[in-house]
Structure 1
Amino acid sequence: MHLSTVIPQPSRVAPGAGVWRWRYRSHWSRGHLLRIATGASARLEPQAELLAGYLREENLAAAALVPGEEGDIVLTLSSAGPGPMPAALAEAGFEPEWHRIHVEPERIRVEAGAPAGIARAVQTLRQLLSGQRARLELPCGRIEDAPALGWRGLHLDVARHFRTAAEVRRYIDLAALHKLNLFHWHLTDDQGWRLPVEGYPRIEEIAAWREGTLVGHDCDRATSPIDGIPHGGCYTAEEIRETVAYAAARGVQVLPEVDVPGHVQALVTAYPEFGNTGRPPGVRTCWGISDTTLNLEPGTFAFLERVVETLAGLFPFRYLHFGGDEARTGEWAASERIQERKRELGLCEDREVQHHFTRELQRFAARHGRRMIGWDEIVEAGPLPEGAAVMYWRDSDSEEGLDVQALRAGAPVVLANCSRTYFDHYQKAGEGMDFEPLAICGNLPIEKVYAWEPLERYPAELQPGVLGAQAQAWTEYIPTRAHLDYMVYPRACALAQVLWTGPAREGWADFERRLESHLPRVDHLGVAYRPRLPLP
C-alpha cells in the first residue's frame, strides 16, 4: 500500500487483495466524477471539500461531493473506536483523531470518531495519492491509526519577520500534511505587533513597523549595520478569521500568543503610557532581550483586557498564550511609580510583578471561558493560578525542574524543549556550521530530533499531565519563506513521527528510507527543505 512512505508511520496496516482504481473520463462520459460521499453527516462536509480540493489541485481529478453513501470515497463517523480521549485534551478543544481507512476494489471507506480523525485520514490519502495524475490507484488493505500524543504543534514567530496570511495558511497546510494538529501563532514581540486591537490605532500605525533590521548576528551588534529597510505588517481581523477557518477544515487548532509583560518594546513605542519611562523606546531593530516592560497602571490592564477580548473573539481554541518569558525587572526596580503600585497591590518583590500579570491574564481569560498558557518563567514567578498551563522550553536535568513543579501542582504542560524542538538552531554542516545559513545558535540535526522520547523524563503518575509537544520557529534569522522551509523541513517530518507514532516508531535507518520516499511529495508542493544529501 506504499505505506512505507507515509509520514508519520501508521499504527497498524493490513494488506488486502486487489486494487482500487479511478480513471478520469472525458466530459461526455457518464460518471466521470470522483465522487466523495459523507452520508447524512453535514459535519464532514469541510473535510470532504478539503479532500476534493486536494484531488483537483494535486491529482487533476474531477472530484465532487455527492449526497448519500454511494461514492468512490465514503467518509463516515463511527462510535466503534478506542476509548475516550484524555479529559485535559478534550477540555482544550481537541477531538479524537483515531481513524480507519478501508481500501476496497469498489471504493475507499474512511471512518473516524470525529471530523478531526477524518481530517487525519484525508492527509494519509493525500500522501498515498501524491504524484498520481488523472488515473489513481491504491492497493487494497486497511489502515488503523491514532496518535501517541494529543497536542502536536508547530510554532511560527511572525513578529521578528512578518509572513502574509497566505504564507501562514501554507505553513498550516504543510503542518496538517504531517498530522500536526496545532499552529502556535506568535503575534507580538519587541520587533513588531501583528494583532489589531479595536480602539488602539497606533498599533497598526506604529507598533507594526520597524525602521530596519540588523544585518548579521546579534553578537556583532556593535559593528553590524541596520539595513534601513522598513519591515512590518499587521493582520486584519478578517484575515485572522479566514486563517482560523482554513486551519479548522484541516483539523488544526490555532493558539495565538501575545507576549507580555516583557517583549513589548513595539507596543510601548506606540503607547508609551503602558511603559515605565514615559518615553517611546522605538520599535526594536536588533535581536536579543529588551529591558522594556509594562507598568501596573489601570490603563495598561484595561488594554490587556481588550486584547483578551479580541483574542477570544477571533480564536475559538480554549487556550490563549500570554508569553511571560524573559521579562527583565530592571525598569520595575528603578521606577518609583512601580514601587508605589506594588505597595498598593500587596506585592513585595519585583518578580511578583510578573506573577500579578499572570493572575490578571488568567482572570481575564476565564471571563471568556478560556485559560492562559505561558512559557515556563510563569512557574518561577509564583504559584500558578487555577486553570493556567505551562509551555516548558528551558531544558533541565533536575528531577524537580519547572516542568515537574508545574505537573505536581496540577497544571497541564506542553513540551517545547529548546534542545529538541527549536528549529531556528543550526542543523550542522561543515566545521562551525559554516555551510549553513546564519542561525541564532545551537546544533539540532534531524537525528537528534528523531531520537527524542518526550515522556521518558516523567514518572508514570505525571505523564497524563503532559498534553503533548511542539516545534518552535523563531524567525530572527529567518527572513524569507524559502529560508523558513529550509529550517523547518525535514526536521518537522521527524518530530511528527516522534509525536504521532511514539515509542513504537521504527528505528532511524528505516525512517531515513521512509523520508527519502516522502521528500518528493514536499518537492511537489514547492517546499525548499534542507537537502538530505551529504553536505561539505
Structure 2
Amino acid sequence: MYKKFFLLFFAIGSLSITITNAQDSGPNMGIIPAPVSLKKASGSFTLSRQTVILADSTNNKAVVFLADYLRSKKMLNIKPGIDSNKNTPNSLILTSAGTDSLPAEGYRLTITPQQITIAGKGAGLFYGIQTLIQLMPADGGATIQLPCVQITDYPRFGYRGVMLDVCRHFFSVEFVKKYIDLMAAYKLNNFHWHLTDDQGWRIEIKKYPKLTTIGSQRAQTVIGNYHDRTPQQFDNTPVGGFYTQDQIRDVIKYAADRYINIVPEIEMPGHSEAALAAYPELGCEPTFPYKVSETWGVFHDTYCPSDKTFSFLEDVLTEVMELFPSKYIHVGGDEAPKDAWKKSAFCQKLCKKLGLKDDRNSTKEDKLQSYFIQRVEKFVNSKGRSIIGWDEILEGGLSPNATVMSWRGEAGGIAAAQQNHDVVMTPGSGGLYIDHSQGKLSEEPLNIGGYDLLSKIYSYNPTPAILTPDQQKHIVGVQANLWTEYIPTENKAEYMLLPRMLALSEVAWSPLANKNYTDFANNRLPSHLAWLDKNGFDYHVPQAIGAQDTIIFGSQLNVNLKPSVTGATVYYTIDSYTPREADIPYTIPMTYNVPQDQYRELETIVITPSGKRSRVTSTFVYNKSPLPAVNYQSTASGLKYLLYTGAFNNTSELTAAAAVDTGIAKSFNTSIIRKNNPAFGIIYSGFIRIDSDNVYGFSTLSDDGSELSIDDIPVVKNDGKHSSIEQGGSVPLQKGYHRFTLKYFNVGTTGTLRVYLTIPGKPKGELSPDEMYN
C-alpha cells in the first residue's frame, strides 16, 4: 500500500487540500470529485523556482490564490506575469483562451514535461487550480513533481450546495469560513446560511434591533433527544449569538473569493418564534407571551399575514438583499401549522376577502400561505431577485417564479419540475440530511435519528427518471443540509459533515458514468480522510475496508483488511473481546482455521494517527455441517408471537420480561402494536420449509433491534437501538423444516421490520409469516 502525504494550507485565509502523489495508480488519481475526463500520460513536470507563472490577468482571484499557495506552503515565490507567449518552456499557464466550448465552471488541465496549462473562465480556472493542488505531493523539497495528465472537467449541476443551520446552535465566523473552505476545496458553490428560526435570530437588522437583543437569546436548551424524557429536562445554560452586518459582509467577500454564493434564509411564515418574541404584534395573538424556543420541533405560532407583518418582512428583506448579492433569497415556507390562522378572526376575514375556500386539494389556510409567499415573492422580484423555498411553498399554489427545495422526498421537486419550476433536490430520503446518524444510535453521538450512510448519499441521483428530458432540465442542483438541534459544538458539526460532504461533491459534480463507490470509498477517500486527520478536523471514521457485520459458515476465517484512513492502523481480535490498541495490528492477510462445531468472531477497529476510532465490526464464522431438518408435521401457516411491553435496549432483555399477549401472526407489520404500545418487544417463532440442500441468506431491515436464529443458531444480529438498518448472514440448511425465531423491539414512532431470504440462484425476496408454519 502506497503512502500519501498531506498538507494544510491557508492561502489568503483559505484551505486547499493536497492529497496525492504522482505514483497514484487509481483511475481518478485520487481526485475528488471524479473528473469528467482524465487521460494519464508518461513523464512528469518539475515545478520549481525556475518555473514562470503566466496569466491573462495577474489580479484574477484564482491566480492570486495559486501564487499565494505556492509562496506560503511550497516556498516557491513566483510572481505571476502576463501571458504573452504560450510556448514559454517550464511555465504554468493560467488562461481563458480556448474555453468557449467548455460548459460553465469547466476547465482543462494539461500537464506535459514542459508545461502546465489550466484553461478556464472564472470559477472554472479556480476549480482547475484545486485539482492541480490535489495532484501535488506534500513531501517535496525545492521542487514539485507533477504527473503528466490531460483533464477536461465541468460540473453536472450548476447548483451544488450545503446548508448550515446556525439558529439551533450558533457558530463563529471563523467556523463558517472553515466550512466555506471545505466547500471550495471540493467544488461546491452554494452556501445556504439558515439565519432565522424559532430558537434564535442570527442576523443583525438595523431597523429592528430587538431581533438580536431579544430574538438571538434563549434562556436554556432541552437536554438530549426531546422525545425521550417526560417531563422534559433543560440545561439551564443561556445560548445566544448573532452576526453583525459587518461580519456578514466579511463572510460574503470571503466566500466570493472562493467562487461560492451565499443563499440567506429568512424563515416565514412559520419557524418565527424568535421574531415574535421580539415583536409580538406580528403574531395573530399580540398579547400571547411568545418566547425564543428552548425545545425542538414544529410550533404553532406563525406570522400573522397583516400589512404590519409584510411591512416588517419587506424591511428585513431589504437589509438582507443590501448585504447579500445572491440571486436566490430563501424564504423558508416549511412546517407552518395553520392553527393560529384558523382561530384568527383577522385571517378568516382575509380569506373571505381574497376569495379563498377549501377544496379537495387544499384548505383556505393553505391558500393563505400561498398568498403570503406570493406577496413576499413580488417584493423580492421587484428588487431583481428570486425566492427559493422548501417544498411546502407548493401548497395552495406555487409562486410564479419560485425555485423549490424538495426535502420531503422527491415528490415536491417532481411536481415543481412538471410545472416548469426550477428545483434543488435535497430529500432526507436520499441521504442528504447529514444531521442523521451515520451508524447505530448506540454507537454514535446523540443525533436526530435516521440512518444516512456515506454510501447512501453517494448513490443518490438528483434527477428522477419519471421526469421527461425537458422537465429534468429544471433539476438545477442538489444540496445537503446540516440541521444543528443536536450539534452544539464545531467539532460535532465537522463530524456530521465529514466525510459525507465529499460524497455530495461527487453527486453534484461528476457524471453518472464516472461514479464508482468502490473507487471513491476504498481508493480515494482514505487519503482525504488522512489529510483531515492530520490537520485537526473531526470526522466519522469508516469501518475497516473489507470488514463487515455478518454471520457466515465455513472452516476458515480469512482476514483481509485495509484501513479506511491512510496511515491508520486496523486492530483486530478473534476471541470475542473488543479490539483496542493493545490488540493485534493488521499487517498482512491472515487465515485462521475454525474447528468443526466451533466458531471464531473477528472484531475490527480502525484507529487513526490522531486517535480517532471507527465503530467495531463483528464477523462470525461458524464451522458447522448443514443443519439437519427437524421433525415437523403441521401445515398451519403463520408464526406464533409473544408480545412484551416496555422500553427495551436489546433483544436479550425480552426473555426476562413477561408476555402481555400471544397469538398467530400473518405479517411482520407492527403498526397496530405501535399504535397502542409506543415501546414494545415481540418474539416470533415457528418453522420455515427449505426445498433443497444449500446455503441460504437471511437479513432483517429493522428499526430498532432484531435478531434472527435458525435452529437456535444466530444468523442475523441487527440488535440495539437504531434507525432502519439492514444486516444479514447465511446458514447451510438441509432440505426440510427448520426452526425459525425472530426477536424484535421498538422504542420509537416509526418501527420498521422486514425479513428477507436469499435462495441460491434467485434474487433476494421479502419473507412473509404466512409462508411459514407454527
* Length-normalised TM-score, structure 1: 0.90
Q: Is the 8 A contact 1:61 1:133 kept in 2?
A: no
Amino acid at match of 1:427: Q
Tell me the residue number matched to 1:532. Answer: 542
* Offset, 1:185: 0.7
Which residue in 1 is equivalent to 2:177? 169
Corresponding residue for 1:304?
A: 313
**SS of the residue aligned with 1:207?**
coil
Find the counterpart in structure 2 of residue 118 from structure 1: 125
Maintained 8 Å contact 1:380/1:402: no
In structure 2, the partner of 1:89 is: none
Distance 1:522 1:65, change over 3 A: farther
The answer (yes or no) to whether the contact 1:188–1:259 under 8 Å persists in 2 is yes
- 1:524 and 1:72 map into 2 onto residues whose CA distance is 32
Q: Does 1:74 align with 2:93?
A: yes
Q: Partner residue of 2:350?
A: 341
Q: Give the distance between the partners of 2:265 and 2:91, measured in 1 at CA.
A: 42
Task: State the partner residue of 2:506.
Answer: 497
Q: Are 2:399 and 1:385 aligned?
A: yes
- Work out whether 1:9 is the aligned partner of 2:34: yes
Q: What residue is the counterpart of 1:424 in the other structure?
A: 435
Equivalent-residue separation in structure 2 for 1:132 and 1:256 (angstroms): 41
8 Å Cα contact 2:99/2:119 also seen in 1:
no
Find the structure with the greater CA-based Rg.
2
C-alpha distance after superposition, 1:378-413 (max 9, x if no partner): 11232x2221111001115xxxx3222211211101
| Shift, 1:523, TM fit | 3.0
Aligned residues of 2:434 and 2:480 also touching (Cα < 8 A): yes
- Cα-Cα RMSD: 2.0
Specify the SS of the correspondent of 2:292. Answer: coil
Q: Deviations over 1:407-441 (max 9, x none)?
A: 12111011001122000000114xxx211011101
Which of residues 240, 250, 256 in structure 1 aligns to 2:258?
250
Whether 2:407 is the aligned partner of 1:407: answer no
Q: Which runs of 5+ in 2 are unaligned?
A: 1-21, 358-363, 545-614, 617-774
Conserved 8 A contact 1:59-1:132: no
Distance, in Å, in 2 between the alignment partners of 1:232 and 1:36 is 47
- 1:246, 1:324 → 2: CA distance? 29
Residue from 504, 514, 528 that aligns with 1:518: 528
Cα offset, 1:244, TM superposition: 1.4
SS of equivalent to 1:499: helix
**2:194 corresponds to which residue?**
186
Partner of 2:203: 195
- Judged with a 3 Å threshold, the aligned counterparts in structure 2 of structure 1 residues 36 and 230 are, in CA distance, closer, same or farther, namely farther
Which residue identity is paired with 2:324?
Answer: F
| Residue equivalent to 1:91 | none
Verify the 8 A CA contact 2:416 2:422 in the aligned structure 1: yes
| Equivalent-residue separation in structure 2 for 1:316 and 1:267 (angstroms) | 24
Equivalent residue in structure 2 for 1:103, among 96, 111, 118: 111
Moved more, 406-415 or 102-111: 102-111
Give the letter aligned to residue 136 of structure 2: L
Distance 1:216 1:148, change over 3 A: same
1:220 to partner: Cα distance:
2.6
User: Which amino acid in the other structure matches residue 268 of structure 2?
Assistant: V
Contact 2:333–2:390 (Cα < 8 Å) also in 1: yes
Secondary structure of 2:146's counterpart equals strand
Checking the alignment, whether the CA contact within 8 Å between 1:271 and 1:280 is kept in structure 2 is no
Question: What secondary structure, in the 3-state scheme, does the structure 1 residue paired with 2:424 have?
Answer: strand
Identify which range, 343-352 or 417-426, moves more after superposition: 343-352
- 1:445 pairs with 2:453: yes
Mapped to 2, the partners of 1:79 and 1:194 lie a distance apart of: 45
What letter matches 1:97 in structure 2? Answer: E
Identify the match of residue 138 of structure 2 among 119, 127, 131: 131
- The equivalent residue for 2:724 is none
Contact 1:215–1:225 (8 Å) recurs in 2: yes
- Distance in 1, matches of 2:256 and 2:356, equals 42
Partner amino acid, structure 1, of 2:480: A
- 2:212 — aligned with what? 204
The correspondence of residues 463-482 of structure 1 with structure 2, limited to 5 A, is 463-482=472-491
Write the letter of the residue equivalent to 1:450: Y
- Per the alignment, do residues 276 and 53 of structure 1 end up closer, same or farther by CA in structure 2, a change over 3 Å counting? farther
From the two aligned structures, give the one with the greater helix fraction. 1
TM-superposed CA distance for 1:13, in Å, is 1.6
- Aligned twin of 2:54: 37
Q: Which whole-Å deviations, capped at 9, do the CAs of 1:131-150 have from their partners, x for residues lacking one?
A: 34553221122211111122
Structure with greater contact order relative to length (CA < 8 Å, sep ≥ 6): 1
Judged with a 3 Å threshold, the aligned counterparts in structure 2 of structure 1 residues 107 and 261 are, in CA distance, closer, same or farther, namely: same
Counterpart-to-counterpart distance in 1, 2:226 and 2:110: 53
Q: Unmatched 5+ residue regions in structure 1?
A: 25-30, 86-95
Q: Secondary structure at the match of 2:394?
A: helix
Given that 2:204 and 2:211 are in contact with CA atoms closer than 8 Å, whether structure 1 keeps it comes out as: yes
The residue aligned with 2:385 is 370
Quote the offset at 1:121 in angstroms. Answer: 1.1
Match of 2:578 in 1: none
2:127 is aligned with what amino acid? R
Report deviation, 1:215: 1.1
Q: Distance in 2 between matches of 1:61 and 1:266?
A: 51
Question: Partners in 1 of 2:70 and 2:282 — Cα distance?
Answer: 51
Higher percent of residues as strand: 2
Counterpart residue identity of residue 307, structure 2: P
9-18 or 254-263, which moves further after superposition?
Answer: 9-18
Say whether the 8 Å CA contact 1:214–1:221 is kept in structure 2.
no
Tell me how many residue pairs correspond in the alignment: 506
Q: How much identity, in percent, do the aligned residues show?
A: 36
Structure 2 letter corresponding to 1:122: I
SS in 1 for 2:296: coil
Q: Does 1:282 align with 2:299?
A: no
CA distance in 2, matches of 1:287, 1:496: 30
SS, match of residue 179 in structure 1? coil
